[in-house]
A and B are shown apart, each in its own frame.
Chain A
Amino acid sequence: MTDIDTEKRIVVVEREIAYPPERLWRALTQPHLMEEWLMKNDFAPIVGHQFKLRGEWGGVLDCEVLEVEPQRMLSYTWDFASDDPAFALESVVTFTLTPTASGTHLRMEQAGFGPAQKQAYGGAYAGWKQFLDKLEQVSAQID
């Protein structure tokens, strides 16, 4: 599980949603609804709009709307600024909605540069402390 620092990675999560695209689109683009499933935000479905997603753990993501195709596709940047390369993240999130007989097929693709692994295992462990301190914050999210 050794990652090259600048290796580009893609995460794809897909789900069959039992509701039509119109309803799903509202949940994806209306701030008060986004807050219920994603995070607090000041989103607006306008290309070029810059907004922030604020996680309950105190983290803030810097985002910018890249593409908006109502009820079909939504794309925005998803960046986490950090002096520590183990946490810095620059990525793009793209939601694609496809109507189906029973509702909507939702596809989420997140592509970008994930956190750089500080060093291979088995060597020096300087830097673990900061990493592990973050764990405490992140663990608050876990039920």
Chain B
Amino acid sequence: MTPLGPDLLFKTLADPTRRALFERLCREGEQTVGALTARAGVSQPAVSKHLGVLRDAGLVCDRHEGRQTHYRALPGALAPLLDWTSQMAGFWERRFDDLEDLLKRMDQ
């Protein structure tokens, strides 16, 4: 379970290539970097970089076996996105920030 908030998860998954890699790991289970690269449509260094970002966000973990690195998805990391109450609370906190800003600017 990542202690990081939804914002990082949104930013991490906003990139379509990165999101596709995460989806594949969710659907198909653990895979090597080589297997992911074969169908990613981008170079292996690019794939490795995306996987590093996903790992930093707590969405995937890696395992070294010989010369191969295997990655698998940690879908539990998406829990904050599915927690409706924390999402809505964050939404209203941001709206209230904007509301206070507006109140300052409003004519008396």
Contacts and interface: CB of A to CB of B under 8 A. Distances in A.
Interface of A: 1, 3, 9-11, 13, 15, 17-19, 23-24, 26-27, 33, 36-38, 106, 108, 110, 114-115, 117, 121-122, 125-126, 128-129, 132, 135-136, 138-139, 142
26 contacts: A1-B79, A3-B82, A11-B85, A11-B89, A11-B92, A13-B92, A17-B100, A18-B103, A23-B103, A26-B106, A27-B99, A27-B106, A37-B95, A37-B96, A38-B98, A38-B99, A110-B92, A114-B88, A115-B84, A128-B23, A128-B26, A132-B13, A135-B14, A135-B19, A136-B13, A139-B13
Nearest to A19: B103
Q: Majority SS of interface residues in chain B?
A: helix
Interface of B: 7, 9-11, 13-14, 16, 19, 22-23, 26-27, 75-76, 78-85, 88-89, 92-93, 95-96, 98-103, 106, 108
Contacts of A125: 23, 26-27, 75
Q: Majority SS of interface residues in chain A?
A: mixed
A129 B48 CA distance: 21
Contact of B81 (A3, A33, A106, A135): A135
Contact of A1 (B19, B22, B83, B92): B83
A9 B27 contact: no
Contacts of A37: 95-96, 98-99, 101-102
Nearest to B8: A142
A3 B75 contact: no
Nearest to B86: A11
Contacts of A126: 27
Contacts of B22: 132
Given A115-B82, A135-B19, 9 more contacts: A11-B92, A13-B96, A17-B100, A18-B103, A23-B108, A36-B98, A38-B95, A121-B76, A135-B9
